[in-house]
Amino acid sequence: LSLFKVVNGKGEKYNQGELLRWLSESVWFPTNLLPSENLQWIPIDSLSAKLIFNYKGLSLFFKVNFNNLGEIIQMETKRYMDEENLETWVVKCGNYKMINNEYDKPKKI
């Protein structure tokens, strides 16, 4: 138990922020980012794509940038940082390393 509440969020804007955070952290679990009925990729150019995720009535979008190896280096979207303000939110990824003889994962986001 904690003496202080760190987060006391609920509602659509809070849910949007939590799902965006989950999606951005999915670079550590790349199978989460495979196309599915809820997730699709739309190419923008050779090094970027739009990631669209639909879940329980929420539609989320990221512009995702890749390096020449196909690794995600940046994800950008709009996110509510409070109840009022929708702001640009950027996640940068780097320092990819092979972990447990599996696919490369960024050690830094």
pTM of model > 0.75: yes
**Sign of the Cα pseudo-torsion (18, 23, 25, 31, in order):** positive
Q: What is the rounded average pLDDT of the residues 23-27? A: 91
Residue 108 has pLDDT above 80, yes or no: no
pLDDT tens digits for range 38-85:
999 999 999 999 999 999 888 999 999 999 999 999 999 999 887 788
Give the Cα separation of 107 and 38 in Å (integer): 27
Q: What is the pLDDT of residue 87?
A: 92
Q: Where are the domains of the chain?
A: 12-108
Q: What is the pLDDT of residue 1?
A: 47
